[in-house]
Structure 1
């Protein structure tokens, strides 16, 4: 494995040296493919435009893929390039390659599989599938509709590849990690896409969210029980990141799971409290666009809310509530706009 990673380091180094003038674009692509955007952008857009069922499918696939990613990361204990190149005995007696680091490089969890690749490909798969369903049902010319679906799948492939390349470029992941993450994400999405998520009530959301949380703590305990250090990757991040302030607590696996559980449970709660129409409605583009803009704006405002980092447990709890507010605002605002639209059909 060391020799494979050594070859991948050479590829990574060549990538950085070949595209030094495209750093801003590559970093923007990496940030756009961040798992949190599944909740801040994809979920609100899908819920308002494609219908509640598609929106909840995206939420489910985002949560399950990120949970599975966390489980696999601790099991596989994959290295990240930016610390491996400084720690590996492969380079003993010779000059170690130089890898440029960026503000988004110093993630703290194990590296395999890539969370960006896994969550993004899974979420975008469901998003594009829902988009194509809408295109096929609303575009009258079947030839044009089929051509449009081919274009969307092509854009999906290009976007997924660009996100993967950006993660390699920033020295956050090895190529094999983003490939594994992408394949797993697509397979997972194709399975979850078949589930009738609209049939599950708050109890199912709560129990499944509890399972996600408890299973992570159990895995953490078992890793400790066999004599391994679950925090080994965090320590390496602190040790090998060029600037300590680039190491952020919101890149830890526990924060990702707390965010997921918060968004998931609160979504189940608000959907159970309100009468939600899960089927996609044809037309009504003004209403859909209004709801989409409002929900995205609310999500982005909530995302800017400061969460104190002094107490770790409180940081995770507040992070869960913060993500939960995104779910609540998305469902509630969409319901308000839909209700207003029905009462004022001429607007």
Structure 2
């Protein structure tokens, strides 16, 4: 692993030194690739124009991030900015100097795992029970695995104090980058999607004739993007960790409920009313 980390550090040094002029562009691309944009940008757009693709996108994001979490815990992956400070392979305190940014101070371990459901049938028509069982399994497995290793005296949250120790700016440390924060956020989104797809509001909007018109889909997509941007102003209190997780779950669950059920139903009713008035 030290070999991989060391070469990763060399690549980062090369980028920070030779591509500094492209900082704005690279930072923009980093934000575009932020996994949280899946829920706030890519999912609303995809779902309103293709419900199957949008649904699979959420499943891919949730299961992929869950596998990412489990493999992080198993492999104990380090992040470059703290690895160069903790490793012993650099003699005489000659560790490389890596420039830090707000996005580099995540408290979870490194590594990345991806998973896809492109050829998995029936996901877009899964029942609420399937969503609930999946949520329960993902939660119990992760918590059970965490508790099991704690019994073995292995602290899976080892990366949190190290991140706080070596981050250049303490203000860049956020509770929403901890491993359990990501787990709770993803479980909330999956629960909300299951509840929304099986809701009466979603079914009514699907039965409406306007559901297949371009104007209906465009209006739903634009309304979804606008409303979800307001979510960024909903700041969850971080002074109490358990309260933060509960509120984070609720906030995440409301995202697919808004995109899948509330907005299409509201637009459907508005277009239905305007259609009656024009007759």
Q: Shift in Å at residue 306 of structure 1? A: 1.0
Q: CA shift at 1:303, angstroms? A: 3.1
* Counterpart for residue 263 of structure 2: 333
Q: CA deviation at 1:269?
A: 1.3
Aligned mate of 1:215, from 126, 132, 141: 141
CA spacing shift, 1:245–1:13, aligned 2, 3 Å: same
| 1:3 has 2:22 as partner | no
- In the aligned structure 1, how far is the partner of 2:7 from the partner of 2:36? 31
Measure, in 2, the Cα distance between the counterparts of 1:322 and 1:303. Answer: 11
Displacement, 1:344? 5.1
Q: Which residue of 2 aligns with 1:305?
A: 234
User: 1:81 and 1:292, CA in 2 relative to 1: closer, same or farther beyond 3 A?
Assistant: same
Please give the TM-score of this superposition, normalised by the length of structure 1. Answer: 0.73
- What is the aligned partner in structure 2 of residue 241 from structure 1? 167
Q: Map 1:45-84; keep pairs closer than 5 Å.
A: 45-50=45-50, 52-84=51-83
1: CA distance between counterparts of 2:5 and 2:193?
Answer: 41
SS of match in other structure, 2:102: coil
Given candidates 313, 316, 319, the residue that maps to 2:245 is 316
1:268 maps to 2:198: no
- For residues 244 and 119 of structure 2, the distance between their equivalents in structure 1, rounded to whole angstroms, comes to 32
Residue 223 of structure 1 deviates from its aligned partner by 1.9
TM-score norm. by structure 2 comes to 0.90
Determine the C-alpha separation between the residues in 1 that align with 2:211 and 2:256.
24
Residue 77 of structure 2 aligns to a residue whose secondary structure is coil
1:58 Cα deviation (Å)? 1.2
Task: Tell me: CA distance 1:282–1:314, structure 2 relative to 1, closer, same or farther (3 Å).
Answer: closer
CA contact (8 A) 1:44 1:296 kept: yes
Higher relative contact order (CA 8 A, sep 6+): 1
Instruction: Tell me the matched-pair count.
Output: 271
How far off is 1:338 after superposition? 3.7
Q: Distance in 2 between matches of 1:197 and 1:304?
A: 32
How far apart, CA to CA, are the structure 2 residues paired with 1:193 and 1:317?
A: 33
Q: CA-to-partner distance for each residue in 1:183-210, whole Å, 9 max, x for gaps? A: xx2xx22x35423113211111111111
**1:1-347 correspondence to structure 2 within 5 Å:** 1-50=1-50, 52-93=51-92, 95-113=94-112, 181=113, 185=114, 188-189=115-116, 191-274=117-200, 275=203, 277=206, 284-331=213-260, 332-341=262-271
Judge conservation of contact 1:77–1:110 (CA < 8 Å) in 2: yes
SS at match of 1:224: helix
Runs of at least 4 residues off by over 6 Å: none
What is the aligned-residue RMSD (CA, Å)?
Answer: 2.1
Separation (CA, whole Å) in 2 of partners of 1:267 and 1:3: 41
- Asked if structure 2 preserves the Cα contact closer than 8 Å seen for 1:295 and 1:334, the reply is no
Distance 1:104 1:193 in 2: 33
Measured at CA, do residues 330 and 317 of structure 1 come closer, stay the same or move farther in structure 2, by a change above 3 Å?
same
Residue range with higher mean Cα deviation, 327-336 or 95-104: 327-336
Structure 2: distance between partners of 1:269 and 1:5: 42
Q: CA deviation at 1:35?
A: 1.4
Conserved 8 A contact 2:81-2:104: yes
Cα gap change, 1:197/1:7 in structure 2, threshold over 3 Å: closer, same or farther? closer
